[in-house]
Amino acid sequence: MRGVYFNKEEVELRDVDKIAGEGARVRVRSIGICGSDLHMLEMKFPIKCIAGHEAAGLLDDGTPVAVEPISPCNECSYCRSGDYNLCRSATATLLGVGRDGCMTEELRMPERSLVHLPSNVDVKDACLVEPLAVAVHGLRKAGLTSGQRVAVIGGGTIGLCAVAATADGGRVVGLAARYEHQIAAGKRLGAVPVDGKYDLVVECTGAKDALKQAVDLCCAGGRVLLLGTYWEGVSLSMAVMLKEIVVVSSYMYSASGAARDFDVAATLLSRHPEIARALITHRFPLSEAKQAFAVARDRKSGAIKVVLEP
């Protein structure tokens, strides 16, 4: 078995002698390369484990599943209320960060972290359930309602997942994206260019200028959802106060009652096959992980989601 490791700024495929984790065995069939993987690589984060947190695969009996890449404790007050993303064990057990990740051929996960896929979702597309769940969770936290005008800033995977999750309710979504191929993908998912002011602005880039733009696009009394990763922190302009903007933060995914954000995301992928077609631009075998990362890192490659297939 092999696994993808980060060695300073290099991607390395190394031999692995045993299956990581505990619980049911998942034979991995698709893995997404995430913007945070690229960031950790570029920043030379000292990650000692196998990389990757966006995965789908097959159980021993052939059941296709998406993997929720955290193993919360199930016992603390956060876990009991459904906010298990806030459990101390959630970040500590995050695949590819706190423990060996999914950029490998097989891994083990506890039963509760497995999400059974609707029958029409191809396991080779289902690594998208994870970023879709990020968008579903954020929009739930922001209190998205049917009549709202919504804008999304950023045309990467998370931005386009936010477009897809918002457009699902029949809403018109404004999209501000930098690259032509991102705008084209947004269009396929129902987005139009941003125009005017919005009740909810979803900032998906994690960049300072984009956050300023989000505040500009937000109407007085509106909401800005922080869905990007702000590695260097954020600073907010005075307009946030003058317009009484509610800033909503969001981290990973959890559950509302019995419905996990992951379940909602899997259903979304099943209802809109266009999501996978618009987002997955490249596929590589695991053995070509190095090339796959090079394509994902090259902003001019036209890549949105680059997928590894063990």
Which residues of this chain interact with Zn ion, rule CB under 5 A? 34, 36, 72-73, 76, 79, 87
Rounded Cα distance between 262 and 285, Å, is 25
- Taking the least distance from each CB to Zn ion, the nearer of 133 and 194 is 133
- Taking the least distance from each CB to Zn ion, the nearer of 19 and 92 is 92
CB neighbour list of residue 116: distance below 8 Å, 6 or more residues apart: 63, 64, 65, 266
SS3 of residue 235 by DSSP: coil
What would the DSSP string read from start to end of 161-197?
HHHHHHHTTT--EEEE-SSHHHHHHHHHTTEEE--S-
- Taking the least distance from each CB to Zn ion, the nearer of 72 and 155 is 72
The minimum distance between CB 82 and Zn ion, in angstroms, equals 11
Q: Which of 137, 179, 182, 141 is nearest to 159 (CA)?
A: 182
What would the two tokens of residue 236 be? 């907010």
- Taking the least distance from each CB to Zn ion, the nearer of 87 and 135 is 87
The minimum distance between CB 239 and Zn ion, in angstroms, equals 30
Rounded Cα distance between 65 and 74, Å, is 21
Paired residues of 24 in beta bridges: 109
Rounded Cα distance between 267 and 46, Å, is 36
The minimum distance between CB 87 and Zn ion, in angstroms, equals 3
The minimum distance between CB 52 and Zn ion, in angstroms, equals 9
Look at strands 246-249 and 218-226 and give their pairing. parallel
Which run of H or of E encompasses 255?
Answer: strand 255-256
- Taking the least distance from each CB to Zn ion, the nearer of 215 and 306 is 306
The minimum distance between CB 135 and Zn ion, in angstroms, equals 11
- Taking the least distance from each CB to Zn ion, the nearer of 83 and 199 is 83
The minimum distance between CB 241 and Zn ion, in angstroms, equals 32
